[in-house]
Amino acid sequence: MSDDAFSMSLRPVAAGVVLGLKGDVDTHTAPGVLAGIRGLVLREGELLVLDVSGMRFCDSSGISAFIAARNHAAAARADVVLVGVPRQTLRVLGMIGLDALFTFRPNLDDALSARDANSAGGA
Amino acid sequence: MRAAGEWPGGGTGPPFSALPEENVEDLYDNAPCGYLSTSLDGTIAKINATLLRWLGYERDALVGRRSFSDLLTVGGRIYYETHFAPLLQMQGELGGVALELKTADGTRLPVLLTSAVKTGADGRPHSIRTMVFDAHDRRAYEQELLRAREEAELERDRVQRLARTLQQTLLPPALPEVPGMEVAAYYHPASLDQVGGDFYDLFPLSGNTWGFFLGDVSGKGENAAVVTSLIRYTLRGAAVYDPDPASVLAHLNTVLYQAHQGEYPRFCTVIYGNLRLDGAGAVMTVAGGGHTPALVLRADGTSSLLHLRGGQLVGALEEARFVVDEIRLEPGDAILLYTDGLTEARTGADRWYSEEDLRDDLSGLVPATAAVVIDAVNRLLESLGDGVEDDTALLAMSVPSQDGAGT
Amino acid sequence: MDVIARNNVVVTGNETGPTVLLAHGFGCDQNLWRLVVPLLAERHRVVLFDHVGAGRSDLSAWTAERYTSLEGYADDVLRICRELDLRDVVLVGHSVSAMIAVLAVNREPQWFAKLVLLTPSPCYVDDGDYRGGFSRADIDELLYSLESNYLGWSAAMAPVIMGNPGRPELGEELTNSFCRTDPVIARAFARTTFLSDNRADLTEVSVPTLVVQCARDAIAPREVGQFVHEQVRGSRLVTLDAVGHCPQLSDPGPTAEAITAFVGAH
């Protein structure tokens, strides 16, 4: 069952918030992800990290979740970083012309330290 | 009836010996189930009064005269000989078999049978003992189940028909004739009971110009069908208003983005193009909205992908970017638009059929007329079989070779 | 998929002896031969298999297109011969497999030395002067019997068979045999079996043939055995003093003797 394979976690960090998605992000699980994203309170300049390194499967409803995250963050003038995006999903994002909308990082440490470096440089 | 609490075990009841007289002979004859003993060849040797009463026969009419299978319906007899008898012979006993017995007045008595082979002192089988239970209730219940299953099957057929009909309304009933071109399309549904989200169309604009599009809506089912319908009519309306391909997609983007603000986002990938007949060939202006690249097949058998990199999917972003390119088809050339049901077909545990695979598999196709291309892709889809998990729409257009080959 | 695994082909017996290929009929699987195999094994190489859809065959190989005609089953028999490179096969077909055997022998006679038809019937339904013994309505009744038993069997039957304390060795294989008979397949096989008409194929048989029938058989009555004997040119007819449709179970000794004698005859 896809529901068994799926889990979502939320963790506040100094830079903002990390939303972790594990398992299958598909028609059954995506509505929950969307609701989760819309419920996030983001402040200007904060970071929304979508950690999908544990994601096993992602169909077009998973892509909608990425877009919703991006639109939700943009409305709050926050930034979005995608962490651990599988190759097949990267290929799809490139195909639909959305790769330029997101920042990609291989892992969570990279995402957060790059941010610290940026903040430090900007301060 | 005795009141509860008087039974043995409660401590206050009478001992068994005080129960009303119970002899074995009477228990056999008047048990609440039928008893039947037959010789190995099936001849009835002994039968109790209960079963005789159920069947409406006198004892003498059956014992020594009739065989057990004479009591079965003809269909039941075949079943008995091909299933029941072999199993009983092999394993010595068998239970829970549902059959119908014929009573003396011709009515049917649904029963459950349990049989055991009785062996003699020498260890060799010498007779078969059978217990017969009245199964009217169970049979009625089974018939309910069978009827419910038939209804469910009918219902499923109805849903599939409905889905098919709805699907057809989302696609053009037949492609129009385009003078000087060959066109062909195909829709391969991945599921019979769900409406897919793929769409295509080809329609006249003005003079010698035609509009065409092919795309894929995110999601499936009735919500996708609603969006598909909206897309199709928006694209045709937008093309009449301003036929520039990038403008057509921008128009669609605005409509979709506004229609689904705040709800579950709905978007599509699409290729929209205009086709203009030009001399012996045709010129196409094509705008890409995040869709898989079209495949161009040349008269000499070479094939290439028409990448429209950077074009974004439609309906997801307030301002989306679309990439436009122009391509010329000469006699013998063809172009194929397709959805990713094909190129996301699984070819292995972690391998998918890619656009490049498609390009390579279709190179060398000469003459590549629209019909030949669709036919070749259909064979591909067949070979991918269960790997094709999503719907696939195909639209092919070709310019006939001038020597007439391939027409 | 290779045919050996697909049809659960089992080879046993005397490697140097003549090859006897045993084809089971409608209802069970190769277990039906269990009592004659030891009797044949000493002098013959014995090849057993399950039809696709029965016993331990690969159920996923079953398709309605292929297996709603006996030709599909006959094709499988030929594939087994090709795959094992069998020569001078004595093909023994029981019940519906007798007609499957006739079709296989007629199509590619080169593999076969002799043919044994055990309780055969080329046509179960009465037709004009021909008496097969059954009407269309009877066959519908059989399909109904199948339906009502599968409803109960999947759950109720298996424990009864498995809990067979006297003869535990029988438990597993019989359970498998029944649990793995998919109702859809059984229904289709029943239709194919009982609604086929292969009377015209009998006259085409070109290898020496033995017809074995039982004295009292509700499925294939003696007139039908006689009919088969008359239609297959030069065939021999043996009538066993047996009751029922499965003499290989009820009378394994005489059945094996009839086969052995025919294999050795010139």
Q: Spot the catalytic one: C50, C51, C76, C95.
A: C95
In a domain, A96, yes or no: yes
Range of the domain at A112: 2-118
What is the pLDDT, as a whole number, of residue C115? 97
Contact call for A and C: 3+ CB–CB distances under 8 Å: no
Domain co-membership, B313 together with B192: yes
Alpha carbon distance C139, B68 (integer Å): 20
What is the pLDDT, as a whole number, of residue C149? 63
User: Among this protein's residues, is C201 annotated catalytic?
Assistant: no
Angle at CA B334, nearest 5°, toward B328 and B337?
100
Domain co-membership, B185 together with B75: no
Residues of chain C with pLDDT under 50: 151-180
Number of domains in chain A: 1
Domain boundary among B76, B109, B134: B134
What is the pLDDT, as a whole number, of residue C179? 38
Chains that touch B (3 or more CB pairs under 8 A): A, C
Is B321 an interface residue toward A (CB < 8 Å)? yes
Domain co-membership, B208 together with B65: no
pLDDT top residue among B50 and B1 = B50
Domain co-membership, B234 together with B302: yes
Instruction: Reply yes or no on whether the pLDDT at B15 is more than 60.
Output: no
CB contact under 8 A, B79 and C246: no
In a domain, B275, yes or no: yes
Domain co-membership, B102 together with B218: no
Is A9 an interface residue toward B (CB < 8 Å)? no
User: Among this protein's residues, is C95 annotated catalytic?
Assistant: yes
When pLDDT is averaged across residues B382-386 and rounded to a whole number, the result is 75
Domain co-membership, B201 together with B336: yes
Please, what is the average pLDDT of chain A? 84
When pLDDT is averaged across residues B220-239 and rounded to a whole number, the result is 85
Q: Quickly count: other Cβ atoms within 10 Å of residue C53's Cβ.
A: 22
ipTM > 0.85, yes or no: no
Alpha carbon distance B174, B168 (integer Å): 10
In a domain, A67, yes or no: yes
Range of the domain at B128: 16-134
- State percent of chain B over pLDDT 70: 86
What is the pLDDT, as a whole number, of residue B207? 83
What torsion, rounded to 10 degrees, do the Cα atoms B234, B237, B241, B246 define? 40
Q: Which residues pair with B395 in a beta bridge?
A: B185, B337
User: Among this protein's residues, is C217 annotated catalytic?
Assistant: yes
What amino acid occupies position B197? G
Query: pLDDT tens, B261-293?
Result: 655 667 899 999 999 999 899 999 999 999 999
CATH number at residue A96: 3.30.750.24
Query: pLDDT tens, B136-161?
Result: 887 788 778 778 888 888 888 888 88
CB contact under 8 A, C149 and B98: yes
CATH number at residue B25: 3.30.450.20
What is the pLDDT, as a whole number, of residue B165? 76
Q: Of C86, C83, C108, which is closest to residue C1 (Cα–Cα)?
A: C83
pLDDT top residue among B406 and B257 = B257
Domain co-membership, B175 together with B287: yes
When pLDDT is averaged across residues A38-63 and rounded to a whole number, the result is 88
What is the pLDDT, as a whole number, of residue C31? 86
CB contact under 8 A, B91 and C161: yes
What is the pLDDT, as a whole number, of residue B112? 87
Instruction: Reply yes or no on whether the pLDDT at B326 is more than 50.
Output: yes
Full-model pTM? 0.56
For B312, which DSSP code?
P
C9 with C23: CB under 8 angstroms? no
CB contact under 8 A, B264 and A64: yes
CB contacts of C159 in chain B (<8 Å) are none
What is the pLDDT, as a whole number, of residue B387? 64
- Find the residue in A nearest to B220 (Cα): A27
What is the pLDDT, as a whole number, of residue C168? 41
What is the pLDDT, as a whole number, of residue B21? 61
Is A74 an interface residue toward B (CB < 8 Å)? no
In a domain, A35, yes or no: yes
Alpha carbon distance A120, C33 (integer Å): 84
Query: pLDDT tens, B81-129?
Result: 887 888 888 878 887 777 889 999 989 898 888 999 999 888 888 899 9
Confidence of residue A34 (pLDDT cuts 50, 70, 90): confident
Q: Give me the residue from B219, B290, B352 closest to A96, CB to CB.
A: B290
CB contacts of B76 in chain C (<8 Å) are 141-142, 145
Contact call for A and B: 3+ CB–CB distances under 8 Å: yes
Domain co-membership, B177 together with B115: no
Q: How close does chain B come to A123, measured CA to CA in Å?
A: 32
What is the pLDDT, as a whole number, of residue A49? 93
Domain boundary among B87, B106, B134: B134
Domains of chain C (ranges, CATH numbers): 3-123+198-264 (3.40.50.1820)
